[in-house]
Amino acid sequence: MALNNLQENDEYYTKKETWSDILRFLPRDKLYLDPFYGDGGNINNLNELGINCIGADLDYQEVLFNFNYEIIITNSPFSKNILIEFLYNLSAINKPFILILPVSKIFSKYFKQAFRQYKDIQIIIPARRMSFINPNSNNKSNPSFCCCYVAYKMDLPSDILFL
Protein backbone atom coordinates (compact mmCIF):
# COMPACT_ATOMS: atom_id res chain seq x y z
CA MET A 1 0.00 0.00 0.00
CA ALA A 2 1.55 3.28 -1.07
CA LEU A 3 1.68 6.14 1.37
CA ASN A 4 -0.58 8.24 -0.83
CA ASN A 5 -3.33 5.73 0.05
CA LEU A 6 -2.93 6.24 3.78
CA GLN A 7 -5.45 8.05 5.86
CA GLU A 8 -4.37 11.33 7.41
CA ASN A 9 -4.18 9.77 10.87
CA ASP A 10 -1.56 7.27 9.61
CA GLU A 11 0.95 9.96 8.76
CA TYR A 12 3.08 10.46 11.83
CA TYR A 13 6.83 10.47 11.49
CA THR A 14 9.54 9.26 13.81
CA LYS A 15 11.81 11.78 15.50
CA LYS A 16 15.56 11.28 15.14
CA GLU A 17 15.88 11.03 18.94
CA THR A 18 13.57 8.01 18.97
CA TRP A 19 16.13 6.05 16.94
CA SER A 20 19.04 7.61 18.88
CA ASP A 21 17.68 5.97 22.02
CA ILE A 22 18.36 2.48 20.61
CA LEU A 23 21.36 3.25 18.41
CA ARG A 24 23.66 1.07 20.53
CA PHE A 25 21.56 -1.99 19.57
CA LEU A 26 21.72 -1.40 15.80
CA PRO A 27 24.67 -3.00 13.96
CA ARG A 28 26.41 -0.44 11.74
CA ASP A 29 27.70 -2.98 9.21
CA LYS A 30 24.23 -3.92 7.90
CA LEU A 31 22.00 -2.46 5.19
CA TYR A 32 18.62 -1.39 6.58
CA LEU A 33 15.35 -0.87 4.77
CA ASP A 34 12.49 1.41 5.76
CA PRO A 35 9.61 0.17 3.58
CA PHE A 36 7.36 3.09 4.60
CA TYR A 37 9.09 6.02 2.91
CA GLY A 38 6.78 8.82 4.02
CA ASP A 39 8.57 12.09 3.38
CA GLY A 40 11.99 10.40 3.37
CA GLY A 41 12.87 12.04 6.69
CA ASN A 42 13.20 8.79 8.62
CA ILE A 43 15.73 7.42 6.16
CA ASN A 44 17.68 10.69 6.28
CA ASN A 45 17.65 10.66 10.09
CA LEU A 46 18.87 7.06 10.25
CA ASN A 47 21.65 7.79 7.74
CA GLU A 48 22.70 10.85 9.78
CA LEU A 49 22.89 8.58 12.84
CA GLY A 50 25.29 6.25 10.99
CA ILE A 51 22.73 3.61 9.98
CA ASN A 52 22.93 2.72 6.27
CA CYS A 53 19.21 2.86 5.42
CA ILE A 54 17.46 2.76 2.06
CA GLY A 55 13.87 3.06 0.87
CA ALA A 56 11.78 4.46 -1.97
CA ASP A 57 8.49 6.25 -2.44
CA LEU A 58 6.84 3.09 -3.79
CA ASP A 59 4.29 0.60 -2.55
CA TYR A 60 5.78 -0.83 0.65
CA GLN A 61 5.37 -4.42 -0.61
CA GLU A 62 7.34 -3.68 -3.76
CA VAL A 63 10.16 -2.30 -1.64
CA LEU A 64 9.96 -5.10 0.96
CA PHE A 65 10.07 -7.94 -1.55
CA ASN A 66 12.32 -6.48 -4.27
CA PHE A 67 15.06 -4.47 -2.58
CA ASN A 68 18.34 -5.91 -1.36
CA TYR A 69 18.73 -5.32 2.41
CA GLU A 70 19.56 -7.14 5.63
CA ILE A 71 17.36 -5.57 8.35
CA ILE A 72 13.98 -3.85 8.30
CA ILE A 73 13.63 -0.75 10.47
CA THR A 74 10.43 1.26 10.48
CA ASN A 75 7.60 3.00 12.21
CA SER A 76 4.81 1.51 10.12
CA PRO A 77 1.28 2.87 10.00
CA PHE A 78 -0.65 1.65 13.05
CA SER A 79 -4.00 1.25 11.27
CA LYS A 80 -5.18 -2.34 11.49
CA ASN A 81 -5.89 -2.64 7.75
CA ILE A 82 -2.24 -1.87 6.92
CA LEU A 83 -0.54 -3.31 9.98
CA ILE A 84 -2.03 -6.81 9.73
CA GLU A 85 -0.85 -7.24 6.14
CA PHE A 86 2.57 -5.80 7.00
CA LEU A 87 3.08 -8.13 9.98
CA TYR A 88 2.16 -11.19 7.90
CA ASN A 89 4.59 -10.03 5.20
CA LEU A 90 7.34 -9.69 7.81
CA SER A 91 6.58 -13.20 9.00
CA ALA A 92 6.85 -14.52 5.43
CA ILE A 93 10.13 -12.71 4.74
CA ASN A 94 11.68 -13.94 8.01
CA LYS A 95 14.41 -11.25 8.09
CA PRO A 96 15.57 -9.34 11.16
CA PHE A 97 13.55 -6.26 11.97
CA ILE A 98 12.99 -3.54 14.51
CA LEU A 99 9.63 -1.77 14.53
CA ILE A 100 7.91 0.87 16.57
CA LEU A 101 4.48 -0.36 17.62
CA PRO A 102 1.86 0.57 20.18
CA VAL A 103 2.24 -1.84 23.10
CA SER A 104 -1.37 -2.97 22.69
CA LYS A 105 -0.61 -4.35 19.20
CA ILE A 106 1.65 -7.02 20.75
CA PHE A 107 -1.41 -8.47 22.47
CA SER A 108 -3.54 -8.47 19.34
CA LYS A 109 -4.74 -11.69 17.78
CA TYR A 110 -3.06 -10.86 14.45
CA PHE A 111 0.34 -10.17 16.04
CA LYS A 112 0.22 -13.46 17.94
CA GLN A 113 -0.81 -15.36 14.79
CA ALA A 114 1.86 -13.74 12.64
CA PHE A 115 4.68 -14.44 15.10
CA ARG A 116 3.55 -17.48 17.06
CA GLN A 117 6.42 -19.56 15.69
CA TYR A 118 9.03 -16.93 16.54
CA LYS A 119 11.05 -17.39 19.65
CA ASP A 120 13.32 -14.49 18.71
CA ILE A 121 10.89 -11.61 19.34
CA GLN A 122 12.38 -9.08 21.76
CA ILE A 123 10.99 -5.86 23.20
CA ILE A 124 12.68 -2.58 24.07
CA ILE A 125 10.69 -0.39 26.42
CA PRO A 126 11.60 3.29 26.14
CA ALA A 127 12.36 5.43 29.18
CA ARG A 128 9.59 7.86 28.25
CA ARG A 129 6.48 7.92 26.10
CA MET A 130 7.37 8.26 22.41
CA SER A 131 6.13 11.29 20.55
CA PHE A 132 5.86 11.66 16.80
CA ILE A 133 5.94 14.39 14.18
CA ASN A 134 2.60 15.26 12.63
CA PRO A 135 3.32 16.63 9.13
CA ASN A 136 -0.04 18.41 9.15
CA SER A 137 0.83 20.41 12.26
CA ASN A 138 3.79 22.29 13.73
CA ASN A 139 3.45 20.34 16.96
CA LYS A 140 4.81 16.97 17.95
CA SER A 141 2.09 14.44 18.50
CA ASN A 142 2.01 12.86 21.92
CA PRO A 143 -0.30 9.88 21.54
CA SER A 144 -2.54 8.64 24.31
CA PHE A 145 -0.98 5.17 23.97
CA CYS A 146 2.50 3.86 24.75
CA CYS A 147 4.79 2.52 22.05
CA CYS A 148 7.77 0.20 22.23
CA TYR A 149 10.35 -1.22 19.89
CA VAL A 150 9.66 -4.77 18.72
CA ALA A 151 12.70 -6.64 17.43
CA TYR A 152 13.16 -9.95 15.69
CA LYS A 153 16.51 -11.72 15.22
CA MET A 154 18.34 -8.63 16.48
CA ASP A 155 20.31 -10.54 19.14
CA LEU A 156 19.62 -8.01 21.85
CA PRO A 157 21.27 -8.66 25.24
CA SER A 158 17.88 -9.53 26.80
CA ASP A 159 14.38 -10.40 25.59
CA ILE A 160 12.98 -7.36 27.40
CA LEU A 161 15.11 -4.24 27.72
CA PHE A 162 14.22 -1.14 29.67
CA LEU A 163 15.94 2.04 28.48
Q: What is the mean pLDDT of the chain?
A: 85
pLDDT digits (tens, 9 = 90+) for 28-79: 999 999 999 988 999 999 999 999 999 999 999 999 999 999 999 999 888 8
pLDDT digits (tens, 9 = 90+) for 3-18: 444 444 556 778 888 8
Whole-angstrom Cα distance, residue 51 to residue 44?
9
Flag whether the pTM goes above 0.75. yes
**Structure confidence at residue 146 as a pLDDT band (50, 70, 90):** confident
What is the per-residue pLDDT for 135?
67
Query: DSSP states of 1-47 as a string?
Result: --GGGS-GGG--EE-HHHHHTTGGGS-TTSEEE-S--TTSHHHHHHH
Helix (H) or strand (E) holding 33: strand 31-33
Domains and CATH numbers, the chain: 3-162 (3.40.50.150)
